[in-house]
Structure 1
Amino acid sequence: MTSDPAPWEWEFDWHLTNRCNFYCEYCHPQIRYVLNKKHLTEPDPDLVVRRFEDLDRACLVHMSGGEPFLFPGFVELCAGLTRRNWISINTNLASPELVARFATEVDPSRVAKIVAALHVPERERLGLPMGEYAESFRILRKAGFDVVALYVLYPPLLPRLREDLTTLAALGVEPLRAKVFKGVYGGRRYPESYTEAERELILANSGEYNFNRPYLDGMLAFRGQPCTAGMTSFKVTVTGDVRRCASVPTSYGNLYDGTFQPAAVPEPCPAKRVLVLSQCMAYLVDPPQPASAPAAAARP
């Protein structure tokens, strides 16, 4: 996640719950139409903490969903995990009371990153004021957490992008990343279908997110290249099954029942199309280097 040597040996990308208080139009179809309609019984936080500690490795646990703060006992889970490991969180910040508790009960030095997704249309649909999001954002920043806002560049949102970014900056929501949409809209696949004008707008307003350009340039597959996914980085499903990554479902046992076993050596990537480019860049044995996007100062 940074250019400095990481204090952890293994990384886990954990889809820890199907629960979500949003129903975003651009959510991945499997999550929106399948997973979020099937709420499974989540494991006890103490069990998960114990399973990670039993690995006897320093770990970074990325937590997403669904909405992580809706995991039963989420603050206790984070406090337990950060005793020996590190965490990062992808959240919509729509649980202000729990966010405030988290800010006082979890050690910020053990939280690598909090990515706070904005989901502006969904907030407007639900009548959730952006000021409430901004307040939670500021609480986390003041408590010492590395938190960054995330704006998904869904094609219908592009005409309002500059106005939204100006509004957020006035509310003190900085830094901000704008990330390309990956999926199908209007019968067209993205990010390939952005127009040239849309590409220029995206690259001028990406913030610190450096992966928009490689996505737009078609860097979507690394088939045959050796990768440490499955060896030192893993995808954990909502049922605890451990897979190689989001793009490759190779199984390595189950984290919850204690049967997880990693691969011994890096293996070539078999995916025809990757889902999370930033992870590929981190886990490939010899990754290409993404070009930096133009500075956000290009906004009018």
Structure 2
Amino acid sequence: MDYDIEADWQLLNTCNYRCDYCFFPGEVLGEKTVLYGTPDEWADAFSATGLTWQLHLTGGEPSAYPDFVDLCAALTRRHVISLNSNLTQTSLADFARRIDPARVSVINAGLHPDERARRRGLEVFNRNLALLHDAGFPIFVSVVATPDVLAAADDIARLPSVPGLVPVPKLLRGSYRGQHYPEAYDEAEREAFRVMSRKARSAYGAWRAARSEPPTIDPFADDDFLAGTPPFRGKTCAAGSRFVRIEPQGDVFRCGSDTAQQGNILTGTFAPHARPSPCNSGYCFYFCRKYTGAEYTSRQVATGVLAGPSLVPPHFVKRLGGALQRVLRR
């Protein structure tokens, strides 16, 4: 899929699950969702940048967004989306009917087995998983690899009911039950993780080979980082130019909230950086790994616009005028 820039767009904070490894506390996950724009206003604002976007919709639980399907329909008229979801919401049936699978890069279906068991949610997960798979959406199942998940790996592998969609283990990262992961995995847990990863790569082998690039969130090689995720600070990174993070109200940041704001999508003030630059933050391991890759950091700058497929189209620079040009020359 051709796109100029990717965004990790946190649509909302709200989620119906309370996984104990979630980065957000319960009071944040329980916030009331605020709508800052209509679906058409959001779609028009992204299109007004002159860029084609790959929008990774996340949260919270993005499919719980009140206008979720209308928003996806509006966005995919011109742009591409990807999605993290726990597959619990009734909106997904309408999504499967109305959204063109060719405009969806990938759906990462989070299994969350403990929370699924507490809420008797396996049946609805499998129903939506089958619905989306049968409709032709590119989809895989992931599971955060807690010690309990790794100890019951064979049972966890049998939870998804769609043949071939086995759970891909994701690194447990950060503080969990008083220990810091992934460093806290013991050797038995690391070996169980490696076995799960090998099985997942085998199960999705043809699907992955047919893709032009890895999924937006790509856990298929997480077993390479069981001893710890590498530092990225100081490495040349295309965040800010080829990738940004967007908050629910439309504020845009290079990546982490400690980086300088790059305007707001809804107000038309977003300005991408002209070139890759050294990492000055820490954000999501998957995006850090992707956008420090040579294919995203090797483009040269010419007359304020990236060479090759244009990141900032000339008509966009001209339309926004001298202020943007000064930003691009920094």
Q: TM-score, length-normalised on structure 1? A: 0.86
Residue 136 in structure 1 maps to residue 111 in structure 2: no
User: 1:19 aligns to what?
Assistant: 14
SS of equivalent to 1:158: helix
Residue 88 in structure 1 maps to residue 82 in structure 2: yes
User: 1:266 aligns to what?
Assistant: 276
Query: What is the one-letter code of the residue matched to 2:238?
Result: T
Query: Is the Cα–Cα contact under 8 Å of residues 13 and 28 in structure 2 kept in the other structure?
Result: yes
**Which aligned pairs between 1:1-300 and structure 2 lie closer than 5 A?**
6-28=1-23, 31-43=24-36, 44-95=38-89, 97-128=90-121, 130-168=122-160, 170-172=161-163, 174-206=165-197, 207-208=200-201, 209-246=219-256, 249-271=259-281, 274-286=282-294
Query: What is the one-letter code of the residue matched to 1:244?
Result: R
Query: Is the Cα–Cα contact under 8 Å of residues 240 and 256 in structure 1 kept in the other structure?
Result: yes
Query: What is the one-letter code of the residue matched to 1:267?
Result: S
Query: What is the one-letter code of the residue matched to 1:281?
Result: R
How far did residue 74 of structure 1 move?
A: 0.5
Deviation per CA, 1:116-174, whole angstroms, max 9, x where unpaired?
Answer: 1011111111122x232112111111111001111111223322222111243x55361
Query: Is the Cα–Cα contact under 8 Å of residues 131 and 171 in structure 1 kept in the other structure?
Result: no
Distance 2:125 2:164 in 1: 9
How far did residue 248 of structure 1 move?
A: 5.0
Distance 1:261 1:139 in 2: 39
Distance 2:248 2:28 in 1: 9
Unaligned runs of 5+ residues in structure 2 are: 202-218, 296-330
Aligned positions, number: 275
Query: Is the Cα–Cα contact under 8 Å of residues 141 and 165 in structure 2 kept in the other structure?
Result: yes
SS of equivalent to 2:29: helix
Query: Is the Cα–Cα contact under 8 Å of residues 230 and 245 in structure 1 kept in the other structure?
Result: yes
Distance 2:252 2:14 in 1: 20
Unaligned runs of 5+ residues in structure 1 are: 1-5, 288-300
Query: Is the Cα–Cα contact under 8 Å of residues 134 and 172 in structure 1 kept in the other structure?
Result: no
How far did residue 37 of structure 1 move?
A: 3.4
Percent identity over paired residues: 34
Query: What is the one-letter code of the residue matched to 1:174?
Result: L
Query: Is the Cα–Cα contact under 8 Å of residues 69 and 91 in structure 1 kept in the other structure?
Result: yes
What is the RMSD of the two structures over their aligned residues, measured on CA atoms? 1.9
Q: TM-score, length-normalised on structure 2? A: 0.78
Query: Which has the larger displacement, 248-257 or 58-67?
Result: 248-257
User: 1:3 aligns to what?
Assistant: none
Distance 1:284 1:49 in 2: 28
How far did residue 100 of structure 1 move?
A: 1.1
Query: Which has the larger displacement, 135-144 or 158-167?
Result: 158-167
